Structure 1
Amino acid sequence: MAHHTMEEDLNIAPPPQAQNLTSSMVTKKWPFLVTKGRFQLLRNFRANLQKVIFGTKLAVLFPAVPLAVVADFYSLGRPWIFALSLLGLTPLAERVSFLTEQIAYYTGPTVGGLLNATCGNATEMIISLLALYQNKVNVVKFSLLGSILSNLLLVLGSSLLCGGLANLRKEQLYDRKQADVNSLLLLLGLLCHLLPLMFRYALAGEYASIATSTLQLSRASSIVMLIAYAAYIFFQLKTHRQIFDAQEEDESEDGEKAVIGFWSAFTWLVGMTLIISLLSEYIVATIEAASDSWGISISFISIILLPIVGNAAEHAGSIIFAFKNKLDISLGVAMGSATQISMFVVPLSVVVAWTMGIEMDLDFKLLETGCLALTIIVTAFTLQDGTSHYMKGLVLFLCYIIISACFFVQKTPLIGEYICIYLIISVSSGIFCETFIIFHYKNG
């Protein structure tokens, strides 16, 4: 006869201390608890990796980053290092913009606007600082000038062209007030570039210390430009924020939310900034070797190639918003970035060079300053009536092709058939990219 205890008769389970639950028993009964606890960090990392690294179509260029490091480590050739670093910077620049937007969801519009102003052109700023450290002043001037030209002609022109083709029989409308403010600041920056140039030519035969006077004028102008940019930030975020409200309302209509956490975005941003610094150092160190090897002038590489990489994020975002018939945002992206470079990064570079004992002025030479002046005038004239169609975008885009050809043939020993090939490839590539994007968004 079986003997039963009181607890068994009353169906009372033994206390938890009496249950001899081993880890294997827990795993069998509740396997998800162990898996969740053990792999939660890995899951978060994989989720962030999917959003940050593989969340862009430019992810196919990420392998160029380790290849550039390997090429530098084994000294495989300075032109190869330059080319791989240039390719690697393209997705990094776009992802930095993405991460900045993610952080802005948590910080609010004021801090987010300042953060965008600082990190939106991180690639150009890092390249400029590294070039200054190596006393390559011309590389700094050319790359910053090229960024302004790229934003005003290539980015804005492509956006207006794609938006016009997507709305072929219609005119797109935008608020010209925002464009007017940016145009005024760009004209102020142009004045600060023209005065040292005219000063040098007008007084070249009268003063022996004309270089010192030009440098002093440039430094004073740079301080004025920084004050003007600070006033612009205050104007945009505080006193006249209603001018830029349309852009924020359009963005809020999309209902987009942050896809990764604040600290995850911040950590990724720091890591990618460090990688950008490494690749930028490779680029600055190998740009002369690439120029000599390819038979292309440093001015073409700095003014045309580098800004295309640095403005990849602005280019993609501006075109997408133009397709959605949100030209106010497209103008804010393209002209806002050009204004940041002209009124913040350029004078900041002059001031930083001043503190480093390097003589950098605002005299960008006659040809370069002339291209800048014509670009700002053409852009301001194009945006004066508050309407847009594909013809305006096409003209701006073709202006960029002409300026690119100008710097391509400058100090280039091999022109002839190569310039024709370059023009054909440039125009064909542009048309192909625009057609692909139109097809994707119309059928996506």
Structure 2
Amino acid sequence: MPTPTTEHVASETATPAPAGDGSSRSWFRPSLDWLLVLVPVAILLRFVPALENPTALFIVSCVAIIPLAGWMGRATEHLAEHLGQGVGGLLNATFGNAAELIIALFALSKGLEGVVKASITGSIIGNILLVLGLSFLAGGVKFSKQTFNRTAASISATALSLGAIALLIPTVFHQVAATVPVAQGGWTPAREQNLSLAIAIVLFLTYAMTLVFSLITHRQLFTGTEEGHGVLEDVGRERTAAEEHGVQWSVSKSVIVLVVATGFVALISEFLVGAVEAARETLGLTEVFVGVIVVAIIGNAAEHSSAILMAMRNKMDLSLGIALGSSLQIALFVAPILIFASYLFGRPMNFEFTIPEVVAVVASIFIVGQISSDGESNWIEGLQLLSVYAVLAILFFFLPDIHAPAASGVVAPAVHP
């Protein structure tokens, strides 16, 4: 379900604590925090005329967002600990993909509808194939066989199917209705937008009810494997140890870090979006590839590293909770929010995706359903997931831009960095 376990990841991911958590040596260990040095570099590239280079700005901004997103996640998790299980779980579910949502909103405001749509599908398949693949591989190399709560995984896979249907129906509608004359009730931009808006409302309501299911009424389904003590029990012990060592942040510190990190993510996202057009032309990349691969990876890189770390610690329920929960947030929460926001920007967006994107999402969800059915994982399954992701990445690299802005009745203006 949508990040039912991320509420409990804070104590796990807090072990390699950032500076200020009582560990003065944390900055000297290998860490994503080292990439924070690129934040001022991005600012210089953006505002110093002598250093102007859209391609360099795009690359630096992409990397700089990764540690900032990680700090947003840490602050959210620590704040959630103070708010209780229900409110804390809701906070984690809401901010789980905040960095990617911010990037998508800036892209949407600039008329980069193709990048926005591609980032939606890219995030879903990235979490399912890339993150789970790396988690299964990393954990499988260390442990010959790992187990997880197959009931929770199955429920998540089923919920993801709803997201796949939401992508499939508007695309099929466009393909079928486009062949029917308008006078006979065929395709019009308004009808396609209304269809997408209605589906977005259904997805958003489903997401809300899914949170109730996973955080309140059926919380016990997400507390660990049938054979183990459960995630809650294990994490509870580690959280106590963390608090004894002064790792837990105060409410004020959590709020300040969250606000500052969010502000910098918004700033760097604006740099990234402003430079994307010039950079992709220089690098020879399409909007689809930038959205499906680049934006989808950088928006959740910090969270992805947590999923892999949990797998290496044999905490597969947490690992799957992060990966599948993030995919569900994208499909049931972020995607509808972007549809709603598009009307505020005066650029109504629809759910009409390219056929390759729809096929990739459907295939990914089918694969994860098959793999999660037995409640066990090993390194070869991880390698297989990574192989599928590599094949899809190659496809999107060679796929030409076929997101036609006019298909939604909106003509995207030229974007200047």
Q: Indicate conservation of the 8 Å contact 1:137/1:360, yes or no.
A: yes
The partner residue of 2:105 within 110, 116, 129 is: 129
Q: Indicate conservation of the 8 Å contact 2:71/2:257, yes or no.
A: no
Shift of residue 81 of structure 1?
A: 0.9
1:330-360 Cα offsets, whole Å, 9 max, x none, are 1111000110011000011111212433221
- Structure number with greater CO (CA < 8 Å, separation at least 6) is 2
Could you say which structure has the larger radius of gyration?
A: 1
Partner of 2:31: 57
Partner of 1:31: none
Letter in 2 for 1:350: I
Shift of residue 172 of structure 1?
A: 1.3
Q: Note the 1:70-109 alignment, pairs <5 A.
A: 70-75=44-49, 76-109=52-85
Letter in 2 for 1:249: E
The partner residue of 2:214 within 236, 260, 263 is: 236
Letter in 2 for 1:224: V
Letter in 2 for 1:93: A
* 1:47 pairs with 2:23: no
Letter in 1 for 2:234: D
Shift of residue 263 of structure 1?
A: 0.5
Letter in 2 for 1:128: A
Pairwise CA RMSD: 2.0
Shift of residue 52 of structure 1?
A: 12
Letter in 1 for 2:223: D
Q: What TM-score comes out, normalization by structure 1 length?
A: 0.79
Shift of residue 251 of structure 1?
A: 1.9
The partner residue of 1:349 within 338, 354, 357 is: 338
Partner of 2:232: 248
Shift of residue 284 of structure 1?
A: 0.9
The partner residue of 1:166 within 129, 135, 142 is: 142
The partner residue of 2:200 within 215, 218, 222 is: 222
1:281-333 Cα offsets, whole Å, 9 max, x none, are 11111111110111122221221112221221222111111122111111111
Show structure 1 runs of 4+ deviating over 4 A. 48-53
1:377-412 Cα offsets, whole Å, 9 max, x none, are 111111111111111111111111111111112239
Gaps of 5+ in 2: 1-17, 225-230, 402-417
Shift of residue 116 of structure 1?
A: 0.9
1:19-78 Cα offsets, whole Å, 9 max, x none, are xxxxxxxxxxxxxxxxxxxxxxxxxx9836967993870122111100100001124111
Q: Indicate conservation of the 8 Å contact 1:176/1:383, yes or no.
A: yes
Change (3 A) 1:51 1:89: farther
Q: Indicate conservation of the 8 Å contact 2:19/2:26, yes or no.
A: no
Take 2:307 and 2:21, find their aligned partners in 1: how far apart are those partners?
25
Shift of residue 153 of structure 1?
A: 0.7
Which is further off, 153-162 or 53-62?
53-62
Change (3 A) 1:332 1:67: same
Which is further off, 52-61 or 202-211?
52-61
Take 2:190 and 2:24, find their aligned partners in 1: how far apart are those partners?
51
The partner residue of 1:323 within 287, 296, 312 is: 312
Q: What TM-score comes out, normalization by structure 2 length?
A: 0.84
The partner residue of 1:286 within 267, 275, 279 is: 275
Letter in 1 for 2:195: L
The partner residue of 2:350 within 361, 368, 384 is: 361
1:403-431 Cα offsets, whole Å, 9 max, x none, are 1111112239xxxxxxxxxxxxxxxxxxx
Q: Note the 1:267-278 alignment, pairs <5 A.
A: 267-278=256-267
Letter in 2 for 1:122: A
Q: Indicate conservation of the 8 Å contact 2:149/2:222, yes or no.
A: no
Which is further off, 250-259 or 346-355?
250-259
Partner of 1:191: 165
Task: For residue 72 of structure 1, give the secondary structure of its aligned residue in structure 2.
Answer: helix
Gaps of 5+ in 1: 1-44, 413-444
Letter in 1 for 2:332: M
Take 1:56 and 1:105, find their aligned partners in 2: how far apart are those partners?
26
Which is further off, 350-359 or 159-168?
350-359
Shift of residue 166 of structure 1?
A: 0.6
Take 2:64 and 2:22, find their aligned partners in 1: how far apart are those partners?
17
Shift of residue 83 of structure 1?
A: 0.9
Partner of 1:425: none
Partner of 1:213: 191
Q: Indicate conservation of the 8 Å contact 1:150/1:307, yes or no.
A: yes
Which is further off, 73-82 or 267-276?
73-82
Take 2:181 and 2:198, find their aligned partners in 1: how far apart are those partners?
19
Identity within the alignment, %: 34
Change (3 A) 1:59 1:49: farther
Change (3 A) 1:48 1:164: closer
The partner residue of 2:155 within 161, 177, 181 is: 181
Letter in 2 for 1:125: L
Take 2:329 and 2:234, find their aligned partners in 1: how far apart are those partners?
22
Shift of residue 376 of structure 1?
A: 1.0
Partner of 1:29: none
Q: Indicate conservation of the 8 Å contact 1:176/1:385, yes or no.
A: yes
Letter in 1 for 2:338: S
Q: Indicate conservation of the 8 Å contact 2:146/2:378, yes or no.
A: yes
